[in-house]
Amino acid sequence: MAIKLAIQNLSKLYPTGEGVQNIDFHVEEGELVTLLGPSGCGKTTVLRSVGGFIDPTGGAIKVSDQDVHHLPPEKRPSAMVFQSYNLWPHMTVFDNLAFSLKLKKVKKIEIQQRVEEVLTLVHLQGMEKKYPSELSGGQQQRIALARALLLEPEVLLLDEPFSALDAKLRHELREELRDIQSKRNLTMLFVTHDQEEALSISDKIVVMNNGHIEQIAPPQDIYNTPASLFVAQFIGRMNFIKGQAVNNTIQIGDITLTMDDLYTGEVTLGVRPEDIHVADKSSVRIEARVDKMMMLGHFAEITLHTLIGSLKMFVDRQQLEQFELNSTISIKLVNFIVFKENGEVLSNRRMNVNEMV
Amino acid sequence: MWYFRTVGKRKIIEFIFLCIFMVFFFGPLLNLLLLAFAGEWQYPDILPKVWSLDWWSFVLQDESLVRSMWLSFFIAAIVTLISLIICIPAAYAFARIQFPLRRLFLFSFLLTNAFPKMGLYVAIAVLFYQMNLMNTFTGIILIHIINTLMFMTWIPSAAFENVHKSQEEAARDAGASPMRVFWHITLPMAKPGIIVASVFTFLSSLNEAEGTFLVGVPNYQTMPVIMYSIIADYPSTAGAVFSVILTLPTLILLLAARRFVGADVFANGFKMK
pLDDT tens profile B203-215: 889 888 888 888 8
Task: List the single best residue of A82, A88, A106, A131 to mutate versus B (max B Cβ within 10 A).
Answer: A88
Q: Give the gap in angstroms from C-alpha A94 to the nearest C-alpha of chain B.
A: 14
Domain boundaries, chain A: 3-230, 237-355
Of residues B2 and B72, the one with the higher pLDDT is B72
Task: Report pLDDT digits (tens) over B49-64.
Answer: 888 888 888 878 888 8
Among B38, B184, B197, B212, residue whose Cα is nearest residue B124: B212
Phi, psi torsion values for B52, nearest 5 degrees: -160, 150
Distance between CA atoms of residues A219 and A226, nearest Å: 10
- A86/B166 touch (CB, cutoff 8 Å), yes or no: yes
Mean pLDDT within B186-190 = 92
Residue A352 pLDDT: 52
- Inter-residue contact A100 to B174 (CB < 8 Å): yes
How confident is residue A356, by pLDDT bands cut at 50, 70 and 90?
very low
In chain A, residues with a C-beta closer than 8 Å to the C-beta of B176 are 74, 99-100, 103
Alpha carbon of A66 to those of A22, A49, A62: distances in Å?
A: 20, 15, 5
Intra-chain end-to-end CA distance of chain B, in Å: 50
Of residues A218 and B4, the one with the higher pLDDT is A218
Which range is least confidently modeled, A278-282, A298-302, B120-124, B149-153? A278-282
Q: Which of residues 172-191 of B touch A (CB under 8 A)?
A: 172-177, 180, 184-185, 188-189, 191
Residue B189 CB neighbour total at 10 angstroms: 20
- A99/B176 touch (CB, cutoff 8 Å), yes or no: yes
The CATH number of the structural domain formed by A3-230 is 3.40.50.300
Phi, psi torsion values for B39, nearest 5 degrees: -95, -50
Distance between CA atoms of residues A179 and A30, nearest Å: 12
Q: Is the peptide bond before A218 cis (omega within 30 degrees of 0)?
A: no
Task: Report pLDDT digits (tens) over A214-251.
Answer: 999 999 999 988 999 999 999 988 999 988 888 888 88
- A99/B164 touch (CB, cutoff 8 Å), yes or no: no
Structure ipTM over 0.95, yes or no: no
Domains of chain B (ranges; CATH) run: 2-51 (no CATH), 63-268 (1.10.3720.10)
Residue A284 pLDDT: 60
- A147/B170 touch (CB, cutoff 8 Å), yes or no: yes
Q: Give the gap in angstroms from C-alpha B170 to the nearest C-alpha of chain A.
A: 7
- A88/B191 touch (CB, cutoff 8 Å), yes or no: no
Of residues B117 and A79, the one with the higher pLDDT is A79
Among B235, B239, B236, residue whose Cα is nearest residue B227: B239
Is 60 exceeded by the pLDDT of residue B19? yes
Residues of chain A contacting B, Cβ within 8 Å: 51-53, 72-75, 78-80, 82, 84, 86-90, 99-100, 103-104, 144, 147-148, 151
Calculate the CA B52 to chain-centre distance. Answer: 31
Q: Which fold does the domain A237-355 belong to in CATH?
A: OB fold (Dihydrolipoamide Acetyltransferase, E2P) (2.40.50)
Residue A349 pLDDT: 53
Residue B4 pLDDT: 62
Mean pLDDT within A264-282 = 84
